[in-house]
Amino acid sequence: MTPETESYDIVVVGGGTAGCFAAATAAREGLDVVLLERKSEEEGGYIACGDGIKGKSTFPDVVDRDRLRDESFTNEGITRGIFENPQTGESIDIPFGQTGAVVDRWKYGQILLDETDRAGAEIHYNTVVNDVVQPNGRVEGVKAVREGDPLEYEADIVIDGAGALSVLQDKADLSTSTFDTNVNYSQFCSAYREVLELPEPVDWDDALVFKPTEELGYLWYFPRSATEINVGLGFQMSQEPMELVDVLKDDIASRAEFAGATVKNKLGAALPTRRPYDSAVHPGYMAVGDAAAHVNPCTGGGIPGAAKAGHWAAEVATEAIADGDVSEHALWEYNERVQTDFGKRFAAMDLYNIFGTAHDLDELVSVVTALPGQQLVDAIGKKGTAEMGLGLKLKTIIKTVGHWDTLYELYKVQSAAGSLKDVYDSYPDSPDHFGAWRKERDAVMDRVYDVTGAEPKY
């Protein structure tokens, strides 16, 4: 039996942050758009996430942002980070210099989906996408099973918001474009999180708490409120596997403030911990959010970047459809927007992830605990590079006796991060010059591998 076919201007796969902002943007532009979500309407938006948003992230104005904030941002008083030393039990207080928030991710997701519907997009729940329609190089739609029935969706453009290690990228032939296929499991993190309800409030409900683990990962404790805590951990898949549930359980048991806690829900996921895709466009096809690694490679966080990426992809797609040209050249502006905005910052942060793979936990903790707080925030959180005055350098050197070689490596990595951001600022305005740009970028990466001794990540 030939599957039924439904036709749209744009098909968006995945109802996460990137997918919702893409679908809502396209619908508000007047396009006929459908969002395909594998979960049921009741389960939609339920995603494994740390729930933290550092800084005052501005979401694209295609949803009711006040509603999103009022109904899903449960704690807007985050002003600091706490870095816990697993060796000594001591902790470092790191002021953020800006206010962040923690969200209820399921409520956030439900509101985004509802706002996407209100914007005019169709949403098809219980729809599992399992292949692409690609008869002649250009992606022209997807194959799916909706509530048990096979069908095809045809569209001018498919926007892939299907998350980390998207099945669409496994199925599509992307060899005729510059779309980044240099992707493997070692560039991802396996994560697990629980939401705990505590009988008594914690005294650090204004902080995001981090504690490093042996497997190039970290435990996190993010307060949705003083008595509701998102707790979780992850490890980089390039490292030895760890028993996520047991490690988290043991750490929770060691904390007096969690005595008597009850588990409200639990969930696991794979998250990118790599730089954004060099190119996320192919004729008729664009990838957004986790499906294009639009994340902070040090933390896996990606809500603000995903929102921007989905919005920009839909804007560029709308213009391409209006012009009757959905080629790689026509969609390229989306790449340029991403890479010269948050892409350059995340690419710079990726160098710290690479630096970490070349050192054991003792070395990393010794260096990190010696860095002044603001320099640490700038290095792996906000700017992607860090500068340090002479006085602070001297204090740091004194604190890191025995790890000077490692500290000097970090200094060189910081210098390379600055150079890398300059390269991304000159990201080409068409695929014609992409090869030359990539050679320039890879020359910086080679310097980092030489300095750190790390195995090439890409």
The domains located in the chain, with CATH, are 4-65+106-183+274-340 (3.50.50.60), 76-98+186-272 (3.30.9.10), 345-452 (no CATH)
The average pLDDT across 316-340 equals 98
| pLDDT at res. 372 | 43
Name the nearest CA neighbour of 230 among 203, 214, 207.
207
**399 confidence band (pLDDT: 50, 70, 90):** very low
Position with higher pLDDT, 220 vs 397: 220
State in Å, rounded, how far the first CA of the chain is from the last one: 43
Sign of the torsion angle spanned by Cα atoms 103, 109, 110, 113: positive
Residue 92 phi, psi dihedral angles, 5° rounding = -115, 130
Total count of residues recorded for the chain? 458
Q: What is the rounded distance in angstroms from the CA atom of residue 266 to the CA atom of residue 38?
A: 19
The whole-chain average pLDDT of the chain stands at 88
The average pLDDT across 327-342 equals 98
The average pLDDT across 201-212 equals 93
Highest mean pLDDT among 53-62, 267-276, 390-399: 267-276
| Alpha-carbon distances of 146 from 6, 118, 150, rounded to whole Å | 12, 22, 6
| pLDDT at res. 364 | 59
Q: Which helix (H) or strand (E) holds 165?
A: none
Q: What is the rounded distance in angstroms from the CA atom of residue 262 to the CA atom of residue 231?
A: 12
Among the listed ranges 118-127, 134-143, 240-249, 402-411, which one has the minimum average pLDDT value?
402-411
Among the listed ranges 2-11, 16-25, 221-230, 349-358, which one has the minimum average pLDDT value?
349-358
**From the DSSP assignment, how many helices (H) and strands (E) are in the chain?**
13, 16
Helix (H, G, I), strand (E, B) or coil at 159: strand
112-148 residue pLDDT tens: 999 999 999 999 999 999 999 999 999 999 999 998 9
Does residue 373 surpass a pLDDT of 80?
no
The average pLDDT across 314-320 equals 98
CA angle 305, 184, 311 (to 5 degrees): 20
Residue type at 39?
A: K
| pLDDT at res. 386 | 47
* Helix ranges, 197-302 (H): 244-253
Does residue 382 surpass a pLDDT of 50?
no
Q: What is the rounded distance in angstroms from the CA atom of residue 374 to the CA atom of residue 76?
A: 21
From the centroid of its chain, how far is CA 233? Answer: 15
Give me the residue label for tokens 């933290």: 52
**379 confidence band (pLDDT: 50, 70, 90):** very low
In the DSSP assignment, the letter for residue 456 is: P
Q: What is the pTM of this model?
A: 0.90
